[in-house]
Each structure stands twice: as C-alpha cells, then as structure tokens.
A = this chain, B = another copy of it.
Amino acid sequence: MRTQPAVECSIQRTLDLIGDRWTLLILRDLFRGVRRFSRIQEDLGIAKNLLTDRLGTLVDADIVERVPYQDRPVRHEYRLTEKGRALSPALLALMRWGDQYVSGGLAPTELVHDDCGTRLELQPWCTTCNVPVVPTDISSRPGPGRHTGSEDIRV
C-alpha cells in the first residue's frame, strides 16, 4: 500500500486507479471488443479472481459498465463508459511508443484515419496556433486544481 498521501498530480491519481499490471491490459481488450469475462480471462491469462477484482474496481470507478447480454441465465458483459473511452489517447500513446521502441519500429497494428487511410500520430496540439507541439516547446504552470506547492512537470 502507498504510504504517502496522494500528491497533487493527475498522473499519480490516474495510476492509483488504473496503473497496476493488469488494468490497462483489460482496458485494451475492451477497446478491442473483447468484453466477456471468460474471453478476457483467456486472452490475457489473468487469474479469474484478479479479473473479478479488477473489473469490479473499474465498474466502481465508472470506467466500465456491466450490462446484461442474455437472460436465463442472466449474464453480463463489460463495456467502456465515456470515461473509459476517454483513455484511448493514453492507450494509443503507449502503443505508438511500443511500436517505435519495443517492436523495432514495425507496428503489429496500425491505427489509421478513416477519411484518408493515413497512419495516425499522437502529439500535443495547440488549438490556438493550430500546430503540433514538440516537448521542448512545452511549459507547465499550476492549474485551477492546484492546492499545494507541488513541483511542476517538464515533458
């Protein structure tokens, strides 16, 4: 268990929720359309009791919802909520990093823009200048949710 109190950082808060060894993998399966307990379990090789526990946590956090897909016997599947779907940029960023640095630049799966078929990149975007922004052009500042004098992040 974490001994420190939660710091004023959304990365920490996020990882406290979904940052364990299995949760992001479960979410990836849900994005892929693998929504049933047994399918996820065999796809990931996760222990059943852990999958029960992790899905419960995700449902409690409103990232995933449990919806019945049949009666007699009633059985449920797990679907991403809007909050869960909002994690797609994070998953995509992890995937693109893995493509470049773990899979040797050869993506096992590419994501493409429906309209034109172009392979998608993921980068910070400035909505004012309407240009992509590289890490060296980024600064940080305290936001409206800042309560204490914690340090800034440089990316």
Binding site for B on A (CB under 8 A): 2-4, 8-15, 17, 19-21, 24-25, 28, 31-34, 44-45, 83, 85-116, 118, 120-129, 132-133, 135, 137-147, 150-155
Contact = CB atoms under 8 A, between A and B. Distances in A.
Report how many copies the assembly holds. Answer: 2
Contacts of A152: 32, 109
**Interface secondary structure of A, over-half rule:** mixed
A10 B98 CA distance: 5
Interface centre among A91, A105, A120 (most CB of B within 10 A): A120
A95 B17 CA distance: 12
Contacts of A108: 8-10, 142-143, 145-147, 150
A14 B140 contact: no
A80 to B, nearest CB: 10
Lowest 5 A-B CB distances belong to which pairs?
Answer: A106-B145, A10-B98, A107-B143, A14-B98, A4-B45
30 contacts: A9-B95, A9-B98, A10-B97, A10-B98, A12-B25, A13-B98, A15-B94, A19-B24, A20-B21, A31-B154, A32-B151, A32-B152, A87-B97, A89-B93, A91-B153, A99-B145, A106-B145, A107-B146, A108-B142, A108-B143, A108-B145, A109-B140, A111-B140, A111-B153, A112-B141, A113-B138, A116-B128, A118-B128, A120-B124, A121-B125
